[in-house]
Amino acid sequence: KVTEDGKGPNLLEKEGQGVIHLAGALGYDWAIAPTVAAGVNINFRDVNGWTALYWAAFWVLERTVGLFVSLDAAPRALTNITPKFPSGRTPTDLAYMNGHKGIAGYLAESSLNIHLSSLTMKDTKDDTPADITEVEASQKVPDQNVSQFVDVGVPDASLKDSLTIVRNATQAATRIHQVYRIQSFQRKQLVEYDDKNFGMSD
């Protein structure tokens, strides 16, 4: 039917949600990967501007949230703007609003890592191998294990979440410092290049 209508795989039902949104809201992990493989965008939005990751975060589904993040769902995406939320909301906001600081911290950390990685990739295109190696070394954050939210007691999970956030915040600060150093080096090179060209033209 999708092929006949020519609308592609990203379709919404009458209620305004698609298959991937329902899978996220209900925690149907087994259906998510096949749905994405069929061509549905992992960041496909429903009628309210929510992606499937939003629904998983809203219903505090730890394993499902981790699965979406592992499939490159965008943790920084914003919902549609409303009078109550003029700046929109992120999945982190939804998880925190429902009282799950562990998931909120995990999503906030994932969002920060993605943002810093994009900055690093942008700012190291023309850097020396030594500079790039230095930044890559600072990016070696331990992989997030989805099972950290599963089969552990609440006190243990909270402690692990706190320690992980503190550790990765420190590593994030190191990355920011490295990116700043690279940008400063690039600006210095640009000034020297301009001075050299002006000198040659004289």
Q: In this structure, what are the phi and psi dihedrals at residue 16, rounded to the nearest 5 degrees? A: 100, 5
Where does a domain end: 77, 98, 119?
A: 98
- The listed range with the strongest mean pLDDT (70-79, 115-124, 190-199) is 70-79
Domain total for the chain? 2
For 88, which DSSP code? -
Burial degree of 195 (CB within 10 A; 0-12, 13-18, 19+): exposed
Tens of pLDDT, residues 150-194:
444 444 555 556 556 656 666 666 666 666 666 666 667 666 666
| Nearest-angstrom CA–CA distance, 57 and 97 | 10
User: Domain with 64 in it: what CATH number?
Assistant: 1.25.40.20
Q: With the C-alpha atoms ordered 127, 130, 133, 139, is the resulting torsion angle positive or negative?
A: negative
- Asked if 11 contacts 37 with a C-beta cutoff of 8 angstroms, the reply is no
Residue 113 shares a structural domain with residue 72: no
Residue 45 shares a structural domain with residue 126: no
Where does a domain end: 98, 114, 142?
A: 98
Residue 67 shares a structural domain with residue 80: yes
pLDDT at 56: 94
Residue 1 shares a structural domain with residue 50: yes
Residue 87 shares a structural domain with residue 131: no
Residue 133 shares a structural domain with residue 89: no
Look up the domain containing 153 and give its range: 100-202
Tens of pLDDT, residues 60-87:
899 999 999 999 999 988 888 888 888 8
Residue 87 shares a structural domain with residue 148: no
pLDDT at 145: 46
Q: Which residues contact 58 (CB under 8 A, 6 or more apart)?
A: 25, 50, 94, 95, 98
Residue 18 shares a structural domain with residue 45: yes
Q: Which residues contact 134 (CB under 8 A, 6 or more apart)?
A: 178
Residue 154 shares a structural domain with residue 113: yes
Residue 191 shares a structural domain with residue 114: yes
Where does a domain end: 57, 75, 98?
A: 98
What are the C-alpha distances in Å from 9 to residues 18, 44, 79, 147, 181?
10, 10, 21, 30, 45
| Nearest-angstrom CA–CA distance, 101 and 84 | 22
Residue 119 shares a structural domain with residue 192: yes
Tens of pLDDT, residues 136-155:
444 444 444 444 444 444 44
Residue 106 shares a structural domain with residue 76: no
pLDDT at 102: 87
